[in-house]
Amino acid sequence: MDTFYTDLLCVGAGLAGERVAVAAASEGFSTICLSIVPPRRSHSSAAQGGMQASLGNCCMGEGDCPDVHFADTVKGSDWGCDQECARLFAETAPIAVREMAFWGIPWNRVVAGEGTYYKGGKQYQKIEKKEMEGTITARDFGGTAKWRTCYTSDGTGHTLLFTMDNKVVELGVTVHDRVDAISLIHDGETCMGVVARDLKTGNLRAYLAKATLIATGGYGRVYRETTNAVINDGSGVIIALDTGIVPFGNPEAVQFHPTGIVPTNILVTEGCRGDGGTLKDVNGERFMHIYEPGKQELASRDVVSRWMTHHIRIGKGVPSPYGPHLWLDIRHLGAAHIKTKLRDVEEICNEFLDVDPITQMIPVRPAHHYSMGGVRTNKDGAAYGLKGLFAAGEAACWDMHGFNRLGGNSLAETVVVGRIVGEKISEFLKGYDVNFKTDVVRDAVRKQEARIAALIAGRDGKESVYAVRNAIQDALMEGVGIFRNEADLKKAVDTLQVVYERSKKVGIHSRVVGVNPEVAMALRIQGMCRIALCVAYAALQRTESRGAHAREDYPERNDRDWLKRTLATWKEGDNLPTLNYEKPSKVWELPPGERGYGVAKIIYSEDPEVIGASKPATN
C-alpha cells in the first residue's frame, strides 16, 4: 500500500480546495490535492452566472459597498447565517475578485456611454461613466440591492477554475486525480489524513497530513432532480459524518434553483433573469410581478422557486411528457446579447433540448441545486470535533448562507472563503506537529479493506446499489422538496429508515478489480442514506419556515423557538441522526426583521441577546 505524507491534504480540487492549496503552498507548505476527476472537470467549472463582490463600478452598482452586500446576504439567509462570517465574506470579496483579475481572469468590463438593459421584460436606458471604463463590471442577480455579480459571459466558473488550476501548477501543488477518499484517519481527537481508493486500480492508499481539508462540494445527488454533477454525492460529508464526532450543520437547508431545464435538470444561469429574462406560464404570460411586485423574477431563489411551484399547482404549468413546467423567455435580449453574455445557455439549449433560445422559450422548473448545510466549522474553517480537520466551499457549513444562498455568493464563497481558510490553515501549520499513530492508520486501512471484501463477496446481501440509490432519491423528491409538511416528512423518514437497512445489504454484481463505478457507489451508499435521513429528520423537527425550508403546516419564521442552527451527528448503530442545536450567530450586527420580499410571517425572538429582535428591522 502506498503512503503519502504532506503538510496539507485537500480532499477535493474544485475552486475551494485549490484556493486553500494555493494559500498554503504560497507559504511554503507541501500540499496534495485529491480529486475524483481531473481538477478542471470539477463541478466548479459548471458555475455560470458570476461571483458577487461590492465593487460599485458599473452605474447600476454605484454606491455599493461591503455593508450593503452584508445586509443582502443576511436577509437572503433569512437570518439563519453566522453574521461574523457574512461580514468577513463581504469585506474580503472585492479583494478576491481583483486578485483573480491579477491572476488572469478576463472579467467583463465597463463600456462607457449609453446602453440598454431589461427588467421585467421592459427595456431601459443606462449611462456608464467614462471614468469607470475598463473596470470590472457586474450584472443583476436575485435578492440584491445593487448590481454586483462580476462575470465572464456565462462561463464564470470555467474561467475561474482554469485560472486557479494554472496557479496550482505554478506553485507546484501535487494533484492526484481519479482518487476517492473513503474514510478519515483519526483517533477520536485528531485527524491524521484519509484512506483513499485509486479509481484506476482499486488499490487503497493512505494519505497522512498535519491538516486535512474537506472541499468535495455538495450532496445534490441524493435528490433525483438536481442540477448537480454525478460526482456530487456528498462524499466529504459522508466521511465526516462517519466519525460520529464531526457534526453536519443545517442538513435540512437545501436550495432549489428556479431554472433547471426540463427534462435533464441542467442549470441555466440566474444571469438569464439578471440580464432581463422573464418567466412565463402555459398562456405565455408573466406571473412573478403578481406575486413579487418589487423584485419580480429577481427575488431570492427560494422565493422564486416557491412561486413557480405554486403557479404550476394552480394549473398554469405547461403540460409535457416529463410533467408540467414553465417557460424562461430571453428572446427579447437579442441574438447579440445571447451569443456573447449567455453563450453557454445557448449551447446547452441547442445541445440538450434542440431549442434555440434566440427564437424559442426555454422549458424550466425548479430543481435541487445547492446545499447550505455541510461539515460544521468555525469562522477559521476548522471542523468541530477533530483537531486538524477543516472544510471549505459547499461541503462546509461555514455558514454565511444560513437557510438560503443568494445567487453569485457560492462562486464567491469558494474563492473568498478559500482564501480566508487557506490563510488560517497556514497559521495553524506554522505551530503544529502531529504524531501519526501507526496502529490507528493500520486499523483504518484494514477496516476499509474488510468493507470492500465483504461487498465483492456479497457477504451481507445482494441488494442492487442503484436500486437503493433510486429509492433514496425518490423518498427525498416526494417528501422533502420545495414545500414540506409533517405527513410527507414523516413518511420520508420512515421510508428512508427501511432503505437504510437495505443499504447495509448491498452486494457487487461486477467483479472488475480496477475501474468499477459500482464499487465506488457501494462504498458510499450507506453514507448517502445517512445524509438523506439527516435532511429529512432535521426538516421534520424544524417546525417553522425559514429560507428554503418551507413548512406548509408552519408558515411562520419562528425566531422565538428556532433561531438556531441544526447540528446532526451519527452514532454507530443508530438508524437516525442525533440532533443538537446552537445559536446561528454570536454577533447580531443586523437584528432579525423582514427580508423585503417573500411572505413575511414572523414570530419574533424574545432572547435579550438578540439585540432589537423584538422589533422588525428597517429595510
* Residues that are catalytic: 257, 273
Could you count the other beta carbons within 10 Å of the beta carbon of residue 294? 9
Q: What is the 3-state secondary structure (H, E, C) of 412-450?
A: HHHHHHHHHHHHHHHHHHHCCCCCCCHHHHHHHHHHHHH
In terms of Cβ atoms closer than 10 Å to its own Cβ (0-12, 13-18, 19+), residue 177 is middle
Dihedral-angle region of residue 388 (phi above 0 means left; psi in -120 to 50 means alpha; beta otherwise): left
Residue 313 has what DSSP assignment? I
Among residues 431, 520, 417, the alpha carbon closest in space to that of 18 is found at: 417
Whether cis (ω within 30° of 0) applies to the bond prior to 366 is no
φ, ψ at 179 (rounded to 5°): -130, 130
Q: Which residues pair with 318 in a beta bridge?
A: 325
**How many CA atoms lie within 13 Å of 296's alpha carbon, on the beta-carbon side?**
16
Residue with the three cell numbers 480546495 = 17
Four-point Cα dihedral 415, 233, 256, 382, nearest 10: -40
Q: Show Cβ contacts of residue 424 under 8 Å, excluding neighbours closer than 6 positions.
A: 380, 381, 382, 390
Please answer whether residues 94 and 82 qualify as being in contact, where contact means their C-beta atoms are separated by less than 8 angstroms.
Answer: no
51 three-class SS: strand
| Other beta carbons less than 10 A from residue 338's beta carbon | 22
Bridge-based pairing of strands 149-150 and 389-391 is: unpaired
